A and B are shown apart, each in its own frame.
Chain A
Amino acid sequence: MIEAAGLEHRFRNGRGVGPIDLRIAAGERAALMGANGAGKTTLLRILATATRPRRGGVLWCGWTAPCKARRLIGFAADSELEDVGLTGRQSIHFWCRQWTSSAQAATLVPRILERLSLAGVADEPIAGYSFGMRRRLALAQALVHEPRIALLDEPTAGLDAEGLEALQTQLASRAQTGDATLIASNDCTFVARACNRVIFLDQGLVVADAAPETLLASVGDTRRIELDITEGAHARIHELHNISGVANAVCASGVVTVDLLDDAALGAVVHVVDSWPGGLQALRIHRLDLSDVFRHLTGTALDSTGVQP
């Protein structure tokens, strides 16, 4: 559906993307993940025909001409909405009509309003919408004409649980009809649940491209525990490294983070930390997620700026 070859677009400060080869097939729900400045938005804008790449080319359903591709694309930017003088229905109708006839819009607009749970507020002015409603509206504007290719930048930002559920359902429904969706998001929980492919970008390059399950399997069945301790007690952190089943242990700002290869080590870790001055204050346990896989692969956090000194 989308085939990009040798795609490159670098800005003067060195940021941007490429060279990148990328293929998104029909029915795929792919997610671009990477730290701020990794090139996610630039890549989405190129694929949306908003930015012309300096090198390389893109095929959209076999078309090379952006003017042909635009008939197939729906794009939701992460910017604010401008249509504050309109109602939600009017705004969605306007965007729908950029691709479709009046008769098609009459069917499509109520459908997307229903699917993204906006029907109840559709006839209210957008100026009165909450941030979350505006984000749903932006998604509705991008998806209302049921594009073959949907490109969504940070689609989960500002969405509540109901909105996330609606978006996930929408993505699944698009996959069933053979439409492709590419999102840029660092929401690990949503991506792991709603996407069948994850593409890690680091400094504009693809560092991993696989199913979420495959990426998570690459770090094994590791659990991460976080233990809140009293400031100053971290001087004894080396004691944790001697415990069998502990893969890694670090301390920052009064929180000890321990990666466990074996759940049996949990008791020993708690026992050791509780013996430190001030004792154990609190304990949290979670499985490693995609942000941990990203950190493991790139050495940087997903929520960092991603800019190397």
Chain B
Amino acid sequence: MLKIKNLNISIDNKKIIKGLNLEIKQGEIHALMGPNGSGKSTLSNVLAGKDGYDVTGEIIYKGEDLLKISIEERARKGLFMAFQYPIEIPGVNTSNFLKSSLNAIRKSNGKKQLDALEFLKLIKEKADVLNIDKTILNRQLNVGFSGGEKKKNEILQMSILEPMFAILDETDSGLDIDALKIISDGINSLRSICRSFLIITHYQRLLDYIKPDFVHVLADGSIIKTGCSELAEELDKVGYGNKKQL
């Protein structure tokens, strides 16, 4: 699904990611953990196609050179990033935004676009499954949303767009226990043999609910250790500062 080879990313001549290698196969869940400033969000931004980075190396997504594909084409090819800080867009209705997004993706994949009624039915269904308050759908996109509502809205978008490869950039940060439960249930409900996840997190907490196939530790721009879900528990005990013990 995704193959990253010798990836280097810098911003303003400052190296953030240094020779990173990572392979995520179809159906796998990978957790990427690491301290603040280790380059986790930089990596997810580059995967989603954000401008302003100097990138060398190779990212192959479903056999294609991802770095040559535009932001919207990546989304249309099934890549989705749940933002660490979802952007507020005043004047844009949440439900309408989701409909435009879904239809843009469906259209490029040769599928029939949903009309207002079909979409309404779908979004209500998904919101119910995720136990998400439907009133957010009629509000302006992320405007005045609480931290939890913003993250739930990202997961709702994911469940509607049904991506092949989802990056969750610190989706668990700033959530209370109930919201964390709702969000991890949402992610688990989307788990499938054809869908892959890259879950970026600081804490082991989220991984109590979502069992990853692999856990990677990112420090100073490269992966210093890879293991199975027990690695996350170990990290929780010893912390990031104690790299030698890992």
Tell whether A pairs with B: no
